[in-house]
Structure 1
């Protein structure tokens, strides 16, 4: 699904929800999951365990003039069901866009994963002039879920 300020993709992964969640909550795995090509590495970040945590990623993209860092503020967390964060340029507060992974177990060995990229809360007019949302297209989100399946089923 795509609407004016949000993209939602879903994929059923043949792995237990716990295995999928373990991959998603490890920031070091995110470079391997990135379908956009923006993530280079984790700068710092412990395993995500609660709302309020922050992890920092090393990024690259022409939209930011090359290399940059993001602080990712965890906004949603529920064991084996949900992990979400809002992204901001390092050292700043989130500007309103959010990444959310929702997991729904379909038996012991299958999980439906819904990835939502939502920029509906971005109100900073200067940011909206600089960054043209969506920065990440639907096909890149679908690629991220394909890579998540590879990681979750290889463990």
Structure 2
């Protein structure tokens, strides 16, 4: 965790195009979500781009709800980030490395006011999100790896 950004990095044995395809296909997010709160895509495009809105069905502490996100950062095969009505951003940065792609996922809550950041920490979201990010990256690695192996057959 750095300042008001919770992040982790993993190397994935898959090209950036494969990883980015998973991240920009919101219907696939339930497969890679390490928080286990994402249930399904309710509304949105088949593939995300800059400015795309998409609504996900979620469940937290047994309570169902919906969240509409909007893509706020986008660079093909390199970067995607989205946010909803709150100012935090979920960001994925991709970097080519020998044998695949280095992926850094982050939960950036620096956009909140000082009081908002204090409240986020009080609720324990940085630690929860740190655990969820670790699981998401492992799921992303597994799924992208399967797709890469399947495509080479």
Q: TM-score range by the shorter chain?
A: 0.7 to 0.9
CA distance in 2, matches of 1:73, 1:136: 22
CA distance in 1, matches of 2:23, 2:66: 19
Residue of structure 2 equivalent to 1:106: 97
Find the partner of 1:122 among 94, 101, 112.
112
Unpaired runs of 5+ residues, structure 1, are 88-93
User: CA offsets, 1:76-124, max 9 Å, x none?
Assistant: 111110111012xxxxxx22110000000114x4000000111121239
Structure 1 stretch displaced more, 39-48 or 78-87 = 39-48
Pairwise CA RMSD of aligned residues? 2.3
Label 1:95 to 1:128 Cα distance change in 2 as closer, same or farther (>3 A): farther
CA distance in 2, matches of 1:66, 1:127: 24
Matched, 1:96 2:87: yes
Residue of structure 2 equivalent to 1:148: 140
Give the TM-score, by structure 1 length.
0.83
Question: Is the Cα contact below 8 Å between 1:5 and 1:118 reproduced in 2?
Answer: yes
Q: Secondary structure at the match of 1:134?
A: helix
CA distance in 1, matches of 2:112, 2:28: 27
CA distance in 1, matches of 2:127, 2:17: 30
CA distance in 1, matches of 2:107, 2:3: 11
Give the TM-score, by structure 2 length.
0.84
Matched, 1:75 2:72: yes
Structure 1 moving runs of 4+ over 4 Å: 124-131
Question: Is the Cα contact below 8 Å between 1:95 and 1:124 reproduced in 2?
Answer: no
Specify which structure has the higher proportion of helix. Answer: 2
Counting matched residue pairs gives: 145
Q: Secondary structure at the match of 2:28?
A: helix
CA distance in 2, matches of 1:3, 1:52: 27
Label 1:129 to 1:17 Cα distance change in 2 as closer, same or farther (>3 A): closer
Unpaired runs of 5+ residues, structure 2, are 148-153
